[in-house]
Amino acid sequence: MSLLDRFQVIRPPDLSQYRRFVVDGHTVGFVAAPLADRLREHGDIFTVADATVSLTPDLRGYADRTAAVDRVLRTLQRDGCFPGWRKEPYPVGPAFGTWLFEMERAAVPPFGVRAYGIHVNGFVGRGADMRLWVGRRSRRKPTFPGQLDHLVAGGQPAGLTLEENLLKECAEEASLPADLVRRARPVGITSYLSETEEGLRNDVLFNYDLELPPDVVPVNADGEIEEFVLWPIDRVIAELAGAANFKFNVAFVIVDFLIRHGFVGPEEPDYVDLVRALRRRPSADAVR
Amino acid sequence: MALVDRIRYCRRREPARFRPFLVAGRRVGWVGDRLVDRLRGFPRTFAVDDRAVRLADALTSFDSRSRAVAEAVDRLREEGWFPGWRDELFPVGTSFHAPPLLQIERAAARHFGIRCYCVQLNGLVERDGELQIWIARRALTKPIGPGKLDQIVGGGVPAGMGLRACLIKECAEEASIPGALAVLARPVGAVAYLRQEGDIADDEVMFDYDLALPADFTPVNADGEVAGFELWPASRVKAVLGDTDDFIFDVALCLIDCLIRHGLVGPSDPHYIDIAEGLWSAPAEGLAA
């Protein structure tokens, strides 16, 4: 495959087939018809109209909304909705940092709610000598088992700042000390909107670069990563353009890394399409 | 004002006043209403309807298309269209690497909303752990954005010239950066936008490069297009981008991208996501959407 083929997994939705999920006057997600039909059964909490599913305006505060939605989600879960319940609340709102309530992570794609994550490109050396740390996910992980991953990556749960989450994930996944992690530099985002089996993945990944000293070897502490390997950039490119089993969004973030560091340049015929594929186009997001 | 306002400026659209310009069934540009009406006077070259302007299907080759368009463009020039005539032919196609479908005088290309490809250079100096960026002030004689702030080097890529060769040429002309230094410039991405206003649709893809310049290097303009250079701390670039429209609007995108890549605009900016997504707001090549 080519680098651009890595992006073919993105299936942009026809949003006219979805109802906007409206909370306190803000669109915070997109709900497909089958879930909307189930939510009609909970008319005290959700109002299902032709183009919208709204949280009842009687619910005013963060805590009240969270509790009411959670009751409905647990009822639906007993009927088989939301497989892979994680007991991990994700924040929901019209913009990052403007949160209206929180909901179980497994329900985030079915509601088309924007989810946020952090991805850390851990690299050693500069220029032609640069190497990138790549992790292999545990085969026991429920999601994307055995796939290639970043040095550190994780979803952004409710109640943590990005920096707190970065420190936590770097400690759990790679045993990196805080004073080293604080050198991580935010370098941009990757985003996409894609129909998947679990629902609508409406993701924003906050990308960081972290230059590691050559003598720092990451050690996984939470059982989620089976092994870490340090690949020269040429190998990273070859594996990405080959058949290597990268987790889909990790491939996006690494392509962004390769472009920012000049390892993939504009002489590459797909360059314009690659850069464009890295982030959702604003024209597609009249609503978020 | 905020950084995100620079993004919003570049995203201005007037869909009711522009029609897609199609060649061989593929969109290659946008034509404003005033020019659309005038192109009805060239029925053998342009087919105009409510939805689009099409180059006549009978024109099937690069040469025949270029010749027919040049005849129309020359006539319109006599009527006062296309100020700032350059006598420079500009390729028209559906992607940067695809063979062009025709070529057109550069001054007319903007009025047909033809996508333009540029190389843009961030001239960077690391001093006491802080990033500094060379800033240019555009000459008052420039037809577009006279007196505005700019990057140290930038320019459109002419037909038939490679990106790297174009960058090296611009580095020499605009800032007297020697070739041995210019070749060290590193590609770091691209930004793009489509902005429609009045008679003009600007559709630009800007290939961005970073170049670490030695502390003792001072740029000197050689082609009269730059009034002067200053080395600014990145924090000042950020403040001026956020508080003013002193930078020429398209270069603002390149500099915001530079600040993001270097971690100087980060998630603490409330518009971080909108800004990052807004750095590429142009439609896909060849498509009308």
Residue of A nearest to B12 (CA): A283
Cα A150 to Cα A143: distance, rounded to the nearest angstrom: 15
Among the listed ranges A199-208, A211-220, B84-93, which one has the minimum average pLDDT value? B84-93
Average pLDDT (B72-87) is 94
Strand partners, B201: B196
Using a CB-CB cut-off of 8 Å, the residues of chain B touching A204 are: 273
Question: Do residue A267 and residue B285 have CB atoms under 8 angstroms apart?
Answer: no
Residue of B nearest to A117 (CA): B267
Query: What's the DSSP call for residue B157?
Result: -
Residue of A nearest to B273 (CA): A189
Question: Do residue B267 and residue A96 have CB atoms under 8 angstroms apart?
Answer: yes
Query: What's the DSSP call for residue B100?
Result: P
Which of B115, B120, B280 has the most A C-beta neighbours within 10 Å, making it the best mutation to test the interface with A? B280
Cβ burial B155-181 (10 Å sphere, 16+ → b, else e):
bbbeeeeebbebbbbbbbbbbebeeee
Q: State the smallest CA–CA distance between residue B84 and chain A in angstroms.
A: 29
Using a CB-CB cut-off of 8 Å, the residues of chain B touching A115 are: none
Cα B222 to Cα A247: distance, rounded to the nearest angstrom: 50
- How confident is the model over A20-76, as pLDDT tens digits? 999 999 999 999 999 999 999 999 999 999 999 999 999 999 999 999 999 999 999
For residue B288, pLDDT beyond 50: no
Residue of A nearest to B206 (CA): A272
How far is C-alpha B68 from the chain's CA centre? 26
Question: Do residue B263 and residue A283 have CB atoms under 8 angstroms apart?
Answer: no
**CB-nearest partner of B186 from A185, A262, A282:** A262
For residue B289, pLDDT beyond 60: no
For residue B222, pLDDT beyond 90: yes
- How confident is the model over B39-53, as pLDDT tens digits? 999 999 999 999 999
For residue A192, pLDDT beyond 70: yes
Question: Do residue B267 and residue A280 have CB atoms under 8 angstroms apart?
Answer: no
Question: Do residue B280 and residue A189 have CB atoms under 8 angstroms apart?
Answer: no
Question: Do residue A188 and residue B276 have CB atoms under 8 angstroms apart?
Answer: yes
Residue A21 phi, psi (nearest 5): -95, 115
In the predicted model, what is the mean pLDDT of chain A? 95
Q: State the smallest CA–CA distance between residue B131 and chain A in angstroms.
A: 14
Three-state DSSP at A117 gives strand
> In this complex, how many residue pairs, one in chain A and one in chain B, have their CB atoms less than 8 Å apart?
83
Cα B280 to Cα A154: distance, rounded to the nearest angstrom: 26
**CB of A123 within 8 A of CB of A132?**
yes
Q: Which helix (H) or strand (E) holds B252?
A: helix B249-261
Residue of B26, B44, B149 whose CA lies nearest to B94? B26
pLDDT at B79: 96
Share of chain A above pLDDT 70, in %: 98
Question: Do residue A280 and residue B261 have CB atoms under 8 angstroms apart?
Answer: no
Mark which residues 16-45 of B lie under 8 Å from A by CB: none
- How confident is the model over B130-180, as pLDDT tens digits? 999 999 999 999 888 999 999 999 999 987 789 999 999 999 999 999 999
Cα A91 to Cα A99: distance, rounded to the nearest angstrom: 6
- Taking residue B107's Cβ as centre, other Cβ atoms within 10 Å add up to 19
Three-state DSSP at A169 gives helix
pLDDT at B209: 98
Mark which residues 133-172 of B lie under 8 Å from A by CB: 162-164
Q: State the smallest CA–CA distance between residue B171 and chain A in angstroms.
A: 18
Q: State the smallest CA–CA distance between residue A187 and chain B in angstroms.
A: 4
- How confident is the model over A97-117, as pLDDT tens digits? 999 999 999 999 999 999 999
Cα A3 to Cα A58: distance, rounded to the nearest angstrom: 49
- How confident is the model over A127-144, as pLDDT tens digits? 999 999 999 999 998 889
Share of chain A above pLDDT 90, in %: 93
Taking the CA atoms of residue B203, residue B269, residue A279 and residue A111 in that order, the dihedral angle to the nearest 10 degrees is -130
Using a CB-CB cut-off of 8 Å, the residues of chain B touching A265 are: 187
**CB-nearest partner of B277 from A262, A272, A280:** A280
What is the length of chain B?
289
ipTM, two decimals, is 0.95
Three-state DSSP at B272 gives helix
Bridge pairing between strands A131-137 and A225-232: antiparallel
Which of B273, B274, B287 has the most A C-beta neighbours within 10 Å, making it the best mutation to test the interface with A? B273
Q: Under 8 Å CB-to-CB from A159, ≥6 apart: which residues?
A: A89, A91, A102
Question: Do residue B272 and residue A96 have CB atoms under 8 angstroms apart?
Answer: yes
How far is C-alpha A121 from the chain's CA centre? 15
Share of chain B above pLDDT 90, in %: 88
Residue carrying the six token digits 């992790």: A135
Question: Do residue B266 and residue A276 have CB atoms under 8 angstroms apart?
Answer: no
Question: Do residue A261 and residue B188 have CB atoms under 8 angstroms apart?
Answer: yes
**CB-nearest partner of A272 from B95, B210, B277:** B95
- What stretches of B112-184 adopt beta strand conformation (E)? 115-127, 130-138, 149-151, 153-156
What is the Cα Rg of chain B in Å? 20
Cα A181 to Cα A163: distance, rounded to the nearest angstrom: 9
- Which pair of structure tokens corresponds to residue A146? 């055995």
Residue of A nearest to B187 (CA): A262
Average pLDDT (B60-65) is 97
Using a CB-CB cut-off of 8 Å, the residues of chain B touching A284 are: none
pLDDT at B285: 64
Residue of A249, A251, A13 whose CA lies nearest to A112? A13
In the predicted model, what is the mean pLDDT of chain B? 94
Three-state DSSP at A253 gives helix
**CB of B154 within 8 A of CB of B230?**
no
pLDDT at B286: 56
Using a CB-CB cut-off of 8 Å, the residues of chain A touching B260 are: 186-188
**CB of A277 within 8 A of CB of A8?**
no
Q: Under 8 Å CB-to-CB from A23, ≥6 apart: which residues?
A: A54, A55, A65, A92, A100, A101
Cα B153 to Cα A259: distance, rounded to the nearest angstrom: 20
pLDDT at B98: 87
Put simply, whether B188 touches A (Cβ < 8 Å) is: yes
Average pLDDT (A157-181) is 97
For residue A11, pLDDT beyond 60: yes
Residue of A nearest to B7 (CA): A282
State the SS3 of chain B: CCHHHHHHHHCCCCHHHEEEEEECCEEEEEEEHHHHHHHCCCCCCEEECCCCEEECCCCCCHHHHHHHHHHHHHHHHHCCCCCCCCCCEEEECCCCCCCCCEEEEHHHHCCCCCEEEEEEEEEEEEECCEEEEEEEEECCCCCCCCCCEEECEEEECCCCCCHHHHHHHHHHHHHCCCHHHHCCCEEEEEEEEEEEECCEEEEEEEEEEEEECCCCCCCCCCCCCEEEEEEEEHHHHHHHHHHCCCECHHHHHHHHHHHHHCCCCCCCCCCHHHHHHHCECCCCCECCC
What is the Cα Rg of chain A in Å? 20
Residue A60 phi, psi (nearest 5): -100, -45
- The whole-model pTM stands at 0.95
Q: Classify B84 in phi/psi space as left (phi over 0), alpha (psi -120 to 50) or beta.
A: left
- How confident is the model over B244-285, as pLDDT tens digits? 999 999 999 999 999 999 999 999 999 999 999 999 988 776
For residue A237, pLDDT beyond 60: yes
Question: Do residue B278 and residue A204 have CB atoms under 8 angstroms apart?
Answer: no
